[in-house]
């Protein structure tokens, strides 16, 4: 991954610590995602009234949109504990067993990257989710004994960047499934003001929208850009973050007015120039750009799709006329007829 991708995309452990500082703790502090908030409020209220755990929750969507935050909020609002793990981290049944049997009533078990659970672990989760039971074989060979351990009523909150990679068997076992979407510039502004006040850095009224517009609809990026702007203000001994400081900071970071950075532009150049607008497979793109296929698919592509700069077709990714325009190339070079471009919703998820 290139350095600029590291800068604007994934969180280092230091970033994670800073992220934790500005992370909303309760649903009321969670900005936007109206429908998710409404449905969660009702589900949690009802569960509390029954004195039971909330239904299992599946959250899917691109990185940085609030999935981990929501898992923490559910645990906090239900007054339960939170156990956090991830799909690849659970590598044997015994580990799953000890996680599950250690849960108290109404605890939240948060499994990040749930699409990366191994098959046997996923299957061992089914009875845990449905019957709050864990099936366990004690001993080996002829003396082996099947046992069923009963579990406390817990809530599984699972997150994934790719719902398409989950089998129906697992997906159907969640009572609540939420797609976390990109945020509007207005919501991002609210998040920026909130974070700025937590960090103790005043930001001017004309500066926040500038940051919001360049944040790719993503709170994590908004917070990250805010911290970069704060650093700029600091070295200039400015007491507030002004629009000028934001502009200067974004120029240095190579982020354009749409929030696109060097990695995005390289993707567009590859599709428009190197492959001259013809459908290109994800694997070919990843190899040419020396990016990981996953980074391309989960992190870079969703926002380019969202802006309508690229489209998915059965034969690969194509740049739209808007992409040619953005790069200052004649749009007549867009070889792919618009009507053959699939609408986003009917997009195949595994057309590598």
Ligand X SMILES: Nc1ncnc2c1ncn2[C@@H]1O[C@H](COP(=O)(O)OP(=O)(O)O)[C@@H](O)[C@H]1O
Instruction: Write out the catalytic residue numbers.
Output: 67-68, 112, 161, 220
Residue whose CB is less far from ligand X, 64 or 87: 64
Q: Does 215 bind ligand X (CB under 6 A)?
A: no
Of residues 111, 124, 191, 329, which one binds ligand X by CB under 6 A?
191
Residue whose CB is less far from Mg ion, 298 or 351: 298
Contact 206, 176 (CB under 8 A): no
Find the helix packing angle between 13-22 and 219-235, rounded to 10°. Answer: 100
| Rounded-to-integer distance, Cα 318 and Cα 193, Å | 37
Q: How far is CA 296 from CA 32, 193, 227, 290, 325, in A?
A: 26, 30, 25, 10, 22
Q: Does 66 bind ligand X (CB under 6 A)?
A: yes
Q: How far is CA 94 from CA 107, 110, 126, 135, 211, in A?
A: 20, 18, 15, 11, 47
Q: Name the residue number minimizing CB distance to ligand X.
A: 66
Q: Please state the closest distance from residue 252 (CB atom) to ligand X, in A.
A: 23
Q: Does 68 bind Mg ion (CB under 5 A)?
A: yes
Q: How far is CA 212 from CA 21, 150, 278, 281, in A?
A: 19, 48, 33, 32
| Rounded-to-integer distance, Cα 137 and Cα 250, Å | 57
Contact characters 133-172, ligand X, x per CB under 6 A: ----------------------------------------
- Rule CB under 6 A: which of 31-50 touch ligand X? 31-33
Which part of the chain contacts Mg ion (CB under 5 A), choosing from 68-76, 249-257, 266-274, 284-292?
A: 68-76
Q: Please state the closest distance from residue 82 (CB atom) to ligand X, in A.
A: 13
Choose the one of Mg ion, ligand X, none that binds residue 219, judging by a C-beta under 5 to 8 angstroms depending on kind. Answer: ligand X
Q: Does 279 bind ligand X (CB under 6 A)?
A: no
**Residue 175: CA count within 13 A, CB half-sphere:** 14
Q: Which of 234, 233, 231 is nearest to 242 (CA)?
A: 233
Q: Does 220 bind ligand X (CB under 6 A)?
A: yes
Interface ranges with ligand X (CB under 6 A): 19, 22-24, 30-33, 63-69, 191, 219-220, 223
């Amino acid at each position: 991954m290139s350095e600029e991708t590291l800068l604007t995309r994934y969180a280092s452990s230091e970033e994670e610590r800073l992220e934790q500082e500005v992370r909303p703790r309760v649903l009321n502090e969670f900005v936007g995602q109206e429908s998710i908030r409404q449905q969660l409020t009702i589900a949690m209220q009802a569960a509390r009234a029954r004195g039971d755990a909330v239904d299992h929750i599946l959250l899917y969507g691109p990185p940085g949109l609030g999935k981990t935050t929501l898992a923490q909020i559910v645990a906090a609002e239900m007054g339960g504990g939170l156990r956090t793990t991830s799909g690849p981290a659970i590598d044997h049944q015994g580990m799953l067993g000890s996680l599950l049997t250690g849960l108290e009533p109404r605890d939240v078990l948060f499994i990040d990257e749930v699409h990366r659970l191994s098959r046997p672990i996923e299957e061992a989760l089914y009875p845990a989710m449905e019957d709050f039971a864990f099936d366990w074989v004690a001993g080996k060979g002829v003396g082996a004994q099947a046992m069923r351990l009963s579990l406390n009523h817990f809530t599984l909150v699972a997150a994934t960047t790719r719902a398409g990679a989950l089998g129906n068997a697992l997906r159907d076992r969640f009572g609540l499934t939420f797609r976390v979407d990109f945020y509007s510039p207005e919501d991002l502004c609210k998040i920026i003001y909130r974070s700025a006040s937590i960090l103790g850095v005043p930001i001017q009224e004309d500066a926040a929208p500038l940051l919001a517009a360049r944040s790719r609809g993503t709170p994590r990026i908004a917070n990250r850009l805010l911290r970069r702007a704060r650093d700029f203000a600091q070295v200039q001994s400015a007491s507030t973050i002004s629009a000028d400081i934001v502009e200067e900071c974004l120029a240095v970071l190579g982020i354009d007015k749409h929030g696109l950075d060097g990695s995005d532009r390289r993707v567009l150049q590859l599709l428009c120039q190197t492959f001259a607008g013809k459908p290109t497979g994800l694997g070919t793109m990843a190899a040419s750009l020396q990016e990981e296929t996953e980074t391309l698919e989960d992190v870079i592509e969703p926002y380019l799709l969202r802006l309508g700069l690229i489209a998915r077709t059965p034969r690969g990714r194509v740049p739209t006329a808007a992409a040619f325009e953005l790069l200052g190339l004649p749009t007549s070079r867009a070889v792919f007829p618009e009507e053959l471009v699939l609408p986003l919703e009917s997009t195949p998820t595994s057309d590598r």
